[in-house]
Amino acid sequence: MGSRNARGYEFGRTYVVRPKGKHQATLVWLHGLGDNGSSSSQLMDSLHLPNIKWICPTAPSRPVTSLGGFTCTAWFDVGEISEDGHDDLEGLDASASHIANLLSSEPADVKVGIGGFSMGAAISLYSATCYALGRYGTGHAYPINLQAVVGLSGWLPGWKSLRSKIECSFEAARRAASLPIILTHGTSDDVVPYRFGEKSAQSLGMAGFRLAMFKPYEGLGHYTVPREMDEVVHWLTTMLGLEGSR
């Protein structure tokens, strides 16, 4: 039985890639619009990160405004991406909460993180802000102690108002300052324009996420390439202190 969000959309199947070495970290990886957890799990399995358990959920199928109401797998409804964007808060929170639930039973000595591509990256970055603020957009407490966030070819929903929210709280500022985040974006992205990735990274930096790193890829479109994934592997290994296959 899948879990349902507030509007009754049901999350699809979750795929798990078990660690091949010592289990040191668990990451949820979120697919892009119209994709599923199966393809995420194949990509993650190919990365050779033996200390990471990957949890790859599938988004609910729902009508998507930007596709003229066409129904496909989507973590939240999206119209046009813009800086104030009338964000689908209900959808964002439902997905962020579904992902937090997937991480809630991990052992205490295992580091946890979230990553994703495109719309999956948007949810990863949104979850990073929920972690820093200590609550979802709806106000309910955010329960997970995130230790790494990866966003490929994505954007941060609600990036315009982030700084004012973080600055109100010493605790939020402290959490923001200590969370490692990597954002990557192709300069030729024709789906999520490069400037949205860049703006998102800048607004995270200005809101006090000091460990947020932005990595542009010259000429890259809306897809991932091996050198980008190699960079992510290296970053995760460093940030999470992974032992590798020793």
pLDDT tens for residues 174-194?
Answer: 999 999 999 999 999 999 999
Those residues with Cβ within 8 angstroms of residue 206's Cβ, 6 or more apart along the chain or in another chain: 163
- Residue 69 to residues 12, 78, 222: CA-CA distances in angstroms? 19, 10, 22
Mean pLDDT of the region 127-153: 95
pLDDT at residue 164, rounded to an integer: 86
Distance CA 130, CA 141 (A): 9
pLDDT tens for residues 162-174?
Answer: 888 888 889 999 9
Pair 159, 83: CB distance under 8 Å: yes
pLDDT higher than 50, residue 1: no
Q: Percent of the chain, pLDDT > 90?
A: 80
Inter-axis angle of helices 170-178 and 119-133, nearest 10: 130
For the record, the structure tokens of 50 come out as 């033996």
N-terminal to C-terminal alpha carbon distance within the chain: 39
3-state secondary structure 102-141: HHCCCCCCCEEEEEEECHHHHHHHHHHHHHHHCECCCCCE
C-alpha torsion sign, points 24, 26, 31, 37: positive
pLDDT higher than 70, residue 27: yes
CB atoms within 10 A of CB 237: 16
Angle at 213 between CA 211 and CA 217, to 5 degrees: 170
Burial of 192 (0-12, 13-18, 19+ CB in 10 A): buried
Q: One-letter amino acid identity for 136?
A: Y
The residue that leads in pLDDT, 243 or 222, is: 222
The residue that leads in pLDDT, 28 or 162, is: 28
For the record, the structure tokens of 2 come out as 């899948």
Burial of 110 (0-12, 13-18, 19+ CB in 10 A): middle
Please, what are the domains in the chain? 12-239 (3.40.50.1820)
